[in-house]
């Protein structure tokens, strides 16, 4: 089946991070296809950078100011009413929700208004581990189970994310599609110029971290890693691109201990960081499918990461990087091993440059979604 599609996408907020990158790549890819699309999104937090302001001026977006990350009965009701109004006016063929809050409100709006649109929800990760209290987590699971019964398709960004959701009774096996993120990179700049810009010595090894500085990312563990690596590899510098509540940990470690940390804050472009990176590191306790590691792979940058969530769906252990337990010593030793073995890094870089465009290219992402939409519209045609 092939038909024009009216697509209404809904995401809680477009803060700089994986979901925003993936959604924007989808929207840009759909421009060249037969999809007429609108994105509804809310407000970013005070401690977050707005992706739309820095990188998304070209996207067709409608703001829903009351749609926000925090639970607020009055604002959530306002968001439901506004989204319901838009559903009635836009008359979409597909309502595709992203992230937890938008998934609840967006799908609820579709159900309440008896929209004939097929309902798709993407889990870019999940909130089942490491985020909330046991009581609140049980409440989230109960809501997600109910909404899954009213969804035509559930998309998980990785196999582990799907397994975790199914284990909690969220959705059925035949409801799920696993669609990894798909990205594209601009040309990498000259490494020498970038090192000079960031005041990094030409002979220094660079280990980068790109992402939100949030508790789940275990920035405290990252600081421990930096301490260990700095003792054994004095020429190594850690370049951190991101911001968040855990920033003070890095600032204190740099100022009071003199650790080799370069803090860049949020960066509109990741390419300069990739251009100077010998390795990228991820120290999280839980992950969906980390976009930063896909960006590293597309640029041929080997990674060292804790083997959690769906990280193993991205990193081919031993070929594009090393996966180890979520432990500072294990992560440090893996970093030191690769920094000392240039041949291994070159081999991993060559593998990644071939592998990642085929699995995680932006056009692959677009094609996968168009196939899902077409199948659903063929099955549930009006």
| Per-residue confidence band for 17, with pLDDT thresholds at 50, 70 and 90 | confident
Residue 272's pLDDT band (boundaries 50, 70, 90)? Answer: very high
CA distances from 119 to 9, 25, 92 (A): 10, 20, 10
pTM of the predicted protein model: 0.81
Which segment of 50-54, 274-278, 295-299 scores lowest on mean pLDDT? Answer: 50-54
Mean pLDDT of 335-345: 98
User: Is the separation of the CB atoms in 250 and 175 below 8 Å?
Assistant: no
Residue range 240-262: mean pLDDT, rounded? 96
Measured at the CA of 373, the angle between CA 371 and CA 376, to 5 degrees, comes to 105
pLDDT of residue 324: 98
Query: Under CATH, which architecture does the 5-182+361-379 domain have?
Result: 3-Layer(aba) Sandwich (3.40)
pLDDT over 90 at 351, yes or no:
yes
Question: What is the percent of the chain with per-residue pLDDT over 90, rounded to a whole number?
Answer: 77
pLDDT in the model for residue 264: 96
Q: In the block, which residue shows the tokens 């003199």?
A: 258
User: Domain map of the chain by residue range?
Assistant: 5-182+361-379, 191-360
- Average pLDDT of the chain is 93
CA dihedral 103, 124, 326, 297 (to 10 degrees): -170
> Same fold for the domain at 5-182+361-379 and the one at 191-360?
yes
pLDDT tens-digit series, residues 73-104: 999 999 999 999 999 999 999 999 999 999 99
Question: What was the pLDDT predicted at 48?
Answer: 80
Using alpha carbons, select from 50, 76, 73 the residue that is nearest to residue 61. Answer: 50
Distance CA 286, CA 81 (A): 33
Rg (alpha carbons) of the chain, rounded to whole number: 21
DSSP H/E element including 97 = strand 94-98
- Summarize the chain as % helix, strand, coil (round to 5): 45, 20, 35
Helix runs in the chain, H state only: 18-30, 51-55, 73-90, 100-112, 134-149, 159-167, 191-197, 219-232, 247-257, 271-276, 291-298, 311-314, 328-339, 342-360, 362-379
Compute the distance between CA of residue 174 and CA of residue 154 in angstroms, rounded to an integer.
9
Tokens found for residue 2: 């092939």
Give the per-residue pLDDT at 2. Answer: 56
Q: Coil, strand, or helix at residue 214?
A: coil
- Using a pLDDT cut of 70, give the percent of the chain over it: 97
139-185 pLDDT, tens digit each: 889 999 999 999 999 999 888 889 999 999 999 999 999 999 999 89
pLDDT value of position 1: 45
- Say whether pLDDT at 130 is over 60: no
> Interhelix angle for 18-30 vs 362-379, to 10°?
70
Q: Give the pair of three-digit tokens for residue 41.
A: 């999104």
Angle at 21 between CA 75 and CA 151, to 5 degrees: 60
Q: Just give the CATH number of 191-360.
A: 3.40.50.2000
How many Cβ atoms from other residues are within 10 Å of residue 364's Cβ? 18
* Euclidean distance between CA atoms 148 and 120, whole angstroms: 10
What's the pLDDT tens digit per position in 285-321?
A: 988 789 999 999 999 999 999 999 889 999 999 999 9
What pLDDT digit, counting tens, does each position of 222-241 carry? 999 999 999 999 999 999 99
pLDDT tens digit sequence for 21-34: 889 999 999 987 78
């Amino acid at each position: 089946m092939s038909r024009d599609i009216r697509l209404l996408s809904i995401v809680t907020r477009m803060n700089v991070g994986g979901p925003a990158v993936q959604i924007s790549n989808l929207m840009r890819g759909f421009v060249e296809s037969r999809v007429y699309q609108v994105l509804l999104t809310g407000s970013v937090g005070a401690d977050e950078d707005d992706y739309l302001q820095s990188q998304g001026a070209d996207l067709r977006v409608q703001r829903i100011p009351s749609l926000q990350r925090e639970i607020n009965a009055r604002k959530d009701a306002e968001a439901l009413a506004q989204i319901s109004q838009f559903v009635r006016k836009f008359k979409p063929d597909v309502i595709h929700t992203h992230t937890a809050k938008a998934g609840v409100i967006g799908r609820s709006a579709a159900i309440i208004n008896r929209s004939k649109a097929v309902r798709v929800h993407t889990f870019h990760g999940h909130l089942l581990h490491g985020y909330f209290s046991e009581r609140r987590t049980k409440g989230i699971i109960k809501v997600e189970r109910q909404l899954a019964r009213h969804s035509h398709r559930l998309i998980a960004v990785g196999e582990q994310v799907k397994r975790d959701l199914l284990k909690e009774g969220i959705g059925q096996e035949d409801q799920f599609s696993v669609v990894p993120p798909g990205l594209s990179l601009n040309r990498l700049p000259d490494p020498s110029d970038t090192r000079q810009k960031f005041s990094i010595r030409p002979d220094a090894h660079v280990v980068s971290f790109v992402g939100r500085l949030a508790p789940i990312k275990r920035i405290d563990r990252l600081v421990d890693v930096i301490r260990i690596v700095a003792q054994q590899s004095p020429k190594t510098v850690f370049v951190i691109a991101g911001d968040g509540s855990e920033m003070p940990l890095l600032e204190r470690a740099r100022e009071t201990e003199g650790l080799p940390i370069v803090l860049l804050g949020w960066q509109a472009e990741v390419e300069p960081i990739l251009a100077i990176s010998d390795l990228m590191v991820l120290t999280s306790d839980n992950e969906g499918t980390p976009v930063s590691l896909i960006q590293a792979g597309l640029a041929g940058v080997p990674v060292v990461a804790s083997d959690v969530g769906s990280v193993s769906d991205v990193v081919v252990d031993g070929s594009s990087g090393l996966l180890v337990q979520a432990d500072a010593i294990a992560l440090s030793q893996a970093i030191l091993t690769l920094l000392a073995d240039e041949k291994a890094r070159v081999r991993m870089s060559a593998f990644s440059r071939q592998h990642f465009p085929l699995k995680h290219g932006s056009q692959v992402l677009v094609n996968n979604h168009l196939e899902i939409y077409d199948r659903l519209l063929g099955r549930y045609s009006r």
